[in-house]
Amino acid sequence: MDASANPDISRLLNAPWFLNVLRAVRALSTATPEMKKACRRLSERVESWTVLENALSGVPDADYTRAAVFLKDIGKEEKSFGVWLSCIITHEDLLAKVRDAPTYEGVYPLDLMSGSNFSEDITHLEFMAFVRAYVGVASVLAVYAWSDSLPNLHCRERTLGVLRLWQEVPGYRAVS
């Protein structure tokens, strides 16, 4: 699961032979419910990378809700979240999609984590504003978690100051 948070690994796993193995394991009568759940989640995660990349690219039939569900799933597990965050800001192709998208002119990004279905109404610009906010907040929280592990109070206080400043940005509380 953690490895599939990396798009390169996920692309390799998104092969018919591998997805068929996962389906076959789920169909086994001897497979435990935990094993079936793990296979289903892995299959969904691998397939969701394609959904996210389509949403980042703005393809006409992009499923923004499913892409947001993928981000929500990734964000629930610390290791997967760290792998995903590292990849989204270091893989040039992904970073370029986030960085080069036109600027959103709305007040604040939609809250796509709420579980509401926005697929019919959401635009690519709105989704990209959400992704940028997600990456931004995730980056600051990752830095805070790292600084919290250090025995340096000054470092932690500076990072906390950034979080406090961020909370004053209009719309932050609406999204958080």
What are the pLDDT tens digits along the chain (176 aa)? 999 999 999 999 999 999 999 999 999 999 999 999 999 999 999 999 999 999 999 898 899 888 988 998 998 888 899 899 999 989 999 988 988 887 777 766 666 666 555 555 778 888 888 888 888 888 877 777 777 777 877 877 877 777 777 677 665 555 44
Most distant CA pair in the chain, distance: 56
Residue with the two structure tokens 């989704």: 127
Tell me the C-alpha distance between 73 and 52, whole Å.
12
- The torsion angles phi and psi of 122, rounded to 5 degrees, stand at -75, 145
Torsion 139-75-85-134 (CA) sign: negative
Q: How many CB atoms within 10 Å of residue 42?
A: 19
- Residue 24 has a pLDDT of 96
SS3 call for 124: helix
C-beta separation of 54 from 69 below 8 A: no
Whose CA is closest to 175, among 71, 93, 79? 71
- Residue 124 has a pLDDT of 87
Domain extents for the chain?
3-175
- Residue 44 has a pLDDT of 94
The alpha carbon of 132 is separated from its chain's Cα centroid by a whole number of angstroms, namely 11
